[in-house]
């Protein structure tokens, strides 16, 4: 930041070395404090984030107790510890015996008010969605926020066929295994959730099938 | 620096009521309104601002003789930003659920013109004790303002306070109150209330003065 | 492409910085008496927002990956000094432009909408192009809200309003009604 021009002419004008030294010292001190607090709080923050993510994955994939991040590299899925910045990934969920239960796939897209991001569990053999959890949304309180507050709507995704694709229908008229009862008064939010899952399916199903074939 | 003998109590109480930063000076409301949709959020935001303001005022007034005039604003901003970052990390570690809701608005405390204003107008010209008392008063006033906004909005918008339902199920919540328009309108109405109280008091004082003159 | 349109419309209308996020309230309430001034302030804000997005992208890509905890301080310092530098350049190069927009620049730099833009764009993980589109939408949205407000205020100046409510209280309630009107834009994009 440029030094402010002095408003009054001081008898004892400090030299510019003094100004730079002051700013430098302030910066150094502040950096020191920030780094200390950052180092102290980081383990708690990372642990909490990991815990929240784990809970979400285990919730949408009933039966899984362990997870791994999988990225799509060179035409196949690879297990990674750290996901690159531009890379897309899914979570593989495994049961206590170490067998694959299914995949937890993240998706996001525009909802009524802002971007909705969610996670859903998918079983590749049965071709079924078995759970859905909204991770972030800013939908209207009392209406759109039912996409995660209304247990009946969330239950739609507990055993949902994805063939040929998921469709949102008027509340109470669900008749086929690939249909979702939309929330009355929040049709747009309900449809947005369905669209996000369909889009993520388009992107991932083919890739997950390759993994299955091996 | 001329140090007037001022009443510590007066310095404290002025921020709380007469010069309330939010209701009278309408300062620093920018990022704050967004998070006053519930009493808890408002309290946490107010608490964070409280900490930043008091800590910054303490540091600025104790270091005031070492900070050259020309770079004072930059130095104040560095001090404030440091405490905001510290608050941000601490909240994230201790209260992750609330932090997620307040999210991007915690860093915006830096841009709260009220905090920088207090450093420039008060902390840099007064003793450490007075500066801290002034900061405590202003911060309490701000906390009080945020809390009243949050409480009114949650009460009408959800029929609850701190998450506890206060009305029977017949109460249809005014959802608009917890949405952005409710923030603007509630603050507008609270300002109106403040104007009215102030005017009533001024009128009473004027009447008393007149009676005194007549009595003589 | 579709995503860019969403980012733009969302920042411009659905999640308008002033009317949905309460960012930049100080100039919104302080510099909205005259339509002409409000419009010029809006243009200056768009300009500063584009620079902000550029700075934020640069810092995020090259510096903050190594030191994420310095985010807030580096945003403030870099944005403020860049804007001050550009202000000096404009002053030298084009005094006319400086008179029209330059006087607003110091006022805008300390504005929460600018810092908010940098932080939101970072949180949403926007790249360079997305960041610029976001800044343009947010800046235009700010201008739109400011100009609407100034237009209404010019009209209400002549209206007979109770003395107590005149001033900030009334302006806030007007802003509330504007904000309510803007809620109508929600769902604009996802209804299709």
Which chains form contacts with chain C, at 3 or more CB pairs under 8 Å? A, B
With a cut of 80, say whether residue B27 has pLDDT above it.
no
Contact A34 C186 (CB under 8 A): no
Mutate to test the interface with C, among A38, A112, A189 (most CBs of C within 10 A): A112
Mean pLDDT of all residues in chain A?
83
Mutate to test the interface with A, among B51, B62, B74 (most CBs of A within 10 A): B74
Q: Select from B70, B75, B92 the Cβ nearest to the Cβ of A26.
A: B75
Q: State the smallest CA–CA distance between residue B70 and chain A in angstroms.
A: 5
Name, in order, each residue with C-beta under 8 angstroms of B85's C-beta and a sequence gap of 6 or more. Answer: A34, A37, B107, C69, C71, C72, C73
Share above pLDDT 90 across residues of chain C, in percent, rounded to a whole number: 27
* Number of domains present in the structure of chain B: 1
Name, in order, each residue with C-beta under 8 angstroms of A36's C-beta and a sequence gap of 6 or more. Answer: none
With a cut of 50, say whether residue C140 has pLDDT above it.
yes
Q: Point out the least confidently predicted range of A8-17, C1-10, C21-30.
A: A8-17
- In the three-class reduction of DSSP (H, G, I as helix; E, B as strand; rest coil), residue C16 is classed as coil
Write down the pLDDT at residue C66.
Answer: 81
The residues facing A207 across adjacent strands are: none
From CA B136, how far away is CA A9, in angstroms rounded? 34
Q: Do B132 and B152 meet the contact criterion of CB atoms below 8 Å apart? A: no
Contact A1 B77 (CB under 8 A): yes
Question: What single DSSP character describes residue C167?
Answer: T
Name, in order, each residue with C-beta under 8 angstroms of A207's C-beta and a sequence gap of 6 or more. Answer: A72, A77
Write down the pLDDT at residue C124.
Answer: 87
Q: Select from A6, A10, A41 the Cβ nearest to the Cβ of B89.
A: A41
Confidence band, pLDDT 50/70/90 cuts, at residue A4 = very low
Q: Select from C71, C110, C176 the Cβ nearest to the Cβ of B184.
A: C176
With a cut of 80, say whether residue C108 has pLDDT above it.
no
Which chains form contacts with chain B, at 3 or more CB pairs under 8 Å? A, C
Q: Do C139 and C45 meet the contact criterion of CB atoms below 8 Å apart? A: yes
Indicate the pTM of the whole model.
Answer: 0.84
Measured in degrees and rounded to the nearest 5, phi and psi for residue A68 equal -140, 145
Which residues of chain A neighbour C80 with C-beta distances below 8 Å?
Answer: 1
Place of tokens 């249909």: A179
Which residues of chain B neighbour A48 with C-beta distances below 8 Å?
Answer: 93, 96
- Per residue in C32-87, pLDDT tens? 888 888 888 888 889 889 999 999 999 998 888 888 888 888 888 888 888 888 88
From CA C66, how far away is CA C121, in angstroms rounded? 18
Q: Do B100 and B88 meet the contact criterion of CB atoms below 8 Å apart? A: no
From CA B6, how far away is CA B3, in angstroms rounded? 8
Mean pLDDT of all residues in chain C?
86
With a cut of 70, say whether residue A90 has pLDDT above it.
yes
Q: Do B179 and B208 meet the contact criterion of CB atoms below 8 Å apart? A: no
Task: Walk across the sheet containing A76-80 and list its strands.
Answer: A76-80, A66-73, A89-94, A100-110, A115-123, A128-136, A160-161
Q: State the smallest CA–CA distance between residue B200 and chain C in angstroms.
A: 11
Contact C172 B30 (CB under 8 A): no
Q: State the smallest CA–CA distance between residue C86 and chain B in angstroms.
A: 18
Question: What single DSSP character describes residue B189?
Answer: H
Map chain A to HEC letters: CCCCCCCCCCCCCCCHHHHHHHHHHHHHHHHHHHHHHHHHHHHHHHHHHHHHHHHHHHHHCCCCCEEEEEEEECCEEEEECCCCCCCCEEEEEECCCCCEEEEEEEEEEECCCCEEEEEEEEECCCCEEEEEEEEECCCCCCCCCHHHHCHHHHHCCCCEECCCCCEEECCCCCCCCCEEECCCCCHHHHHHHHHHHHHHHHHHHHHHHHHHHC
Write down the pLDDT at residue C137.
Answer: 95
Chain C residue with the nearest C-alpha to that of B89: C69
Strands A100-110 and A115-123: antiparallel
Residues in chain C: 192
From CA B127, how far away is CA B135, in angstroms rounded? 12
Contact C187 A34 (CB under 8 A): no
Write down the pLDDT at residue A210.
Answer: 61
Q: Do C79 and C109 meet the contact criterion of CB atoms below 8 Å apart? A: yes
Confidence band, pLDDT 50/70/90 cuts, at residue B8 = confident
- Per residue in A107-130, pLDDT tens? 988 888 888 999 999 988 888 899
From CA B22, how far away is CA B190, in angstroms rounded? 10
Interface predicted TM-score (ipTM) over 0.85: yes
Share above pLDDT 90 across residues of chain A, in percent, rounded to a whole number: 12
Mean predicted confidence (pLDDT) in A198-208: 85
Mean predicted confidence (pLDDT) in A158-163: 85
From CA A199, how far away is CA C46, in angstroms rounded? 34
Q: State the smallest CA–CA distance between residue C77 and chain A in angstroms.
A: 6
Which residues of chain A neighbour B92 with C-beta distances below 8 Å?
Answer: 41, 45
From CA B80, how far away is CA B119, in angstroms rounded? 10
Which residues of chain C neighbour A27 with C-beta distances below 8 Å?
Answer: 73
Q: Is C15 on the interface with A (CB under 8 A)?
A: yes
- Per residue in A23-43, pLDDT tens? 888 888 888 999 999 999 999
Mean predicted confidence (pLDDT) in A198-203: 88
Write down the pLDDT at residue C139.
Answer: 94
Chain A residue with the nearest C-alpha to that of C75: A1
With a cut of 60, say whether residue B39 has pLDDT above it.
yes
With a cut of 60, say whether residue A9 has pLDDT above it.
no
Write down the pLDDT at residue B136.
Answer: 92
Mean predicted confidence (pLDDT) in B134-139: 90
Q: Do B38 and B150 meet the contact criterion of CB atoms below 8 Å apart? A: yes
Residues in chain A: 214
Mutate to test the interface with C, among B45, B191, B194, B199 (most CBs of C within 10 A): B191
With a cut of 90, say whether residue A173 has pLDDT above it.
no
- Cis peptide bond N-terminal to A164, omega within 30: yes
Confidence band, pLDDT 50/70/90 cuts, at residue C190 = low
Cβ-Cβ contacts under 8 Å between A and B: the total is: 75
- Per residue in B151-198, pLDDT tens? 999 999 888 888 788 877 778 888 888 888 999 999 999 889 888 888
What are the structural domain ranges in chain C?
14-187
Which residues of chain C neighbour B112 with C-beta distances below 8 Å?
Answer: 112
Contact C168 B191 (CB under 8 A): yes
Share above pLDDT 70 across residues of chain A, in percent, rounded to a whole number: 90
Q: Is A37 on the interface with B (CB under 8 A)?
A: yes
From CA B110, how far away is CA B28, in angstroms rounded? 10
Q: Point out the least confidently predicted range of A80-84, C85-89, C111-115, C127-131.
A: A80-84
Q: Do A79 and A70 meet the contact criterion of CB atoms below 8 Å apart? A: yes
Contact B93 A41 (CB under 8 A): yes
Contact B96 A45 (CB under 8 A): yes
Please report how many Cα atoms fall inside a 13 Å half-sphere around the Cα of residue B64, on the Cβ side. Answer: 18
Which residues of chain B neighbour C22 with C-beta distances below 8 Å?
Answer: 29-34, 180, 183-184
Q: Do B128 and B4 meet the contact criterion of CB atoms below 8 Å apart? A: no
Mean predicted confidence (pLDDT) in B123-135: 88
Q: Is A23 on the interface with B (CB under 8 A)?
A: yes
From CA B196, how far away is CA B24, in angstroms rounded? 12
From CA A93, how far away is CA A100, in angstroms rounded? 6
Name, in order, each residue with C-beta under 8 angstroms of A147's C-beta and a sequence gap of 6 or more. Answer: A111, A116, A134, A137, A139, A153, A154, A183, A186, A189, A190, A193
Chain C residue with the nearest C-alpha to that of B114: C26
Q: Which of residues 133-162 of A touch B (CB under 8 A)?
A: 140-143
Write down the pLDDT at residue A212.
Answer: 54
Q: Which of residues 104-123 of C touch A (CB under 8 A)?
A: none
Q: State the smallest CA–CA distance between residue C174 and chain A in angstroms.
A: 22
Contact C176 B183 (CB under 8 A): yes
Write down the pLDDT at residue C58.
Answer: 92
Chain C residue with the nearest C-alpha to that of B24: C168
Which residues of chain C neighbour A188 with C-beta distances below 8 Å?
Answer: 187, 190-191
Measured in degrees and rounded to the nearest 5, phi and psi for residue A202 equal -55, -40
With a cut of 80, say whether residue B19 has pLDDT above it.
no
Measured in degrees and rounded to the nearest 5, phi and psi for residue A196 equal -60, -45
- In the three-class reduction of DSSP (H, G, I as helix; E, B as strand; rest coil), residue B81 is classed as helix
Confidence band, pLDDT 50/70/90 cuts, at residue A10 = very low
With a cut of 50, say whether residue B2 has pLDDT above it.
no
């Amino acid at each position: 930041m440029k030094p402010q021009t002095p408003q009054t002419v001081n008898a004892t004008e400090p030299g510019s070395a003094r100004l730079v030294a002051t700013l430098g010292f302030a910066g150094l001190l502040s950096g020191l404090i920030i780094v200390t607090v950052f180092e102290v709080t980081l383990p708690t923050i990372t642990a909490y984030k990991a815990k929240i993510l784990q809970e979400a994955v285990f919730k949408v994939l009933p039966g899984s107790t362990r997870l791994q991040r999988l990225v799509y590299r060179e035409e196949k899925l690879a297990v990674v510890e750290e996901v690159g910045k531009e890379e897309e990934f899914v979570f593989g969920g495994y049961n206590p015996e170490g067998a694959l239960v299914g995949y937890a796939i993240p998706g996001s897209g525009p909802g009524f008010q802002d971007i909705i991001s969610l996670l859903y569990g998918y079983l590749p053999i049965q071709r079924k969605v078995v759970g859905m959890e909204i991770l972030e949304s800013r939908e209207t309180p009392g209406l759109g926020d039912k996409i995660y507050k209304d247990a009946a709507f969330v239950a739609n995704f507990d055993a949902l066929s994805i063939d040929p694709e998921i469709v949102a229908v008027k509340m109470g008229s669900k008749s086929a295994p690939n249909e979702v009862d939309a929330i009355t008064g929040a049709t747009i939010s309900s449809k947005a959730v369905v669209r996000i899952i369909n889009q993520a399916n388009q992107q991932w199903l083919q890739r997950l099938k390759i993994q299955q074939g091996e | 620096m001329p140090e007037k003998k001022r009443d510590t109590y007066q310095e404290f109480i002025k921020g709380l009521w007469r010069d309330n930063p939010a209701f009278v000076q309408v300062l620093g409301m920018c990022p704050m309104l967004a998070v006053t949709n519930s009493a808890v959020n408002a309290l946490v935001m107010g608490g964070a601002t409280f900490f930043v303001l008091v800590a910054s005022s303490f540091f600025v007034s104790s270091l005031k003789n070492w900070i050259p005039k020309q770079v004072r604003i930059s130095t104040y901003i560095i001090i404030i930003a440091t405490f905001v970052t510290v608050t941000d990390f601490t909240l994230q570690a201790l209260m992750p659920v609330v932090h997620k809701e307040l999210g991007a608005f915690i860093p915006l405390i830096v841009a709260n013109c009220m905090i920088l204003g207090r450093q420039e107008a008060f902390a840099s010209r007064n003793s450490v004790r007075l500066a801290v008392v002034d900061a405590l008063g202003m911060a309490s006033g701000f906390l009080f303002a945020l809390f009243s906004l949050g409480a009114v909005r949650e009460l009408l918008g959800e029929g609850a306070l701190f998450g506890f339902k206060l009305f029977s199920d017949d109460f249809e919540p005014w959802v608009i109150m917890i949405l952005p328009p409710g923030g603007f309108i509630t603050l507008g109405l609270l300002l109106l209330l403040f104007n009215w109280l102030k005017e009533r008091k001024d009128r009473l004082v004027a009447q008393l003065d007149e009676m005194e003159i007549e009595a003589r | 492409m579709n995503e860019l349109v969403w980012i733009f419309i969302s920042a411009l209308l659905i999640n308008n910085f002033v009317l949905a996020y309460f960012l930049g309230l100080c100039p919104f309430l302080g510099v909205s008496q005259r339509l002409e001034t409000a419009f010029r302030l809006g243009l200056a804000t768009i300009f500063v927002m584009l620079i902000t997005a550029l700075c934020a992208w640069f810092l995020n890509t090259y510096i903050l990956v190594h030191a994420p905890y310095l985010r807030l301080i580096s945003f403030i310092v870099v944005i403020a000094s860049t804007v001050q530098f550009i202000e000096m350049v404009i002053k030298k190069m084009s005094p006319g432009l400086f008179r029209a927009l330059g006087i607003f620049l110091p006022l805008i730099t300390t504005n929460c909408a600018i810092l908010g833009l940098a932080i939101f764009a970072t949180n949403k993980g926007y790249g360079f192009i997305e960041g610029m589109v976001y800044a343009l939408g947010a800046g235009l949205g700010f201008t739109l809200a400011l100009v609407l407000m100034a237009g209404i205020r010019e009209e209400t100046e002549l209206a007979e309003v109770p003395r107590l409510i005149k001033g900030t209280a009334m302006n806030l309630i007007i802003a509330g009604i504007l904000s309510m009107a803007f809620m109508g834009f929600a769902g604009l994009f996802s209804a299709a």
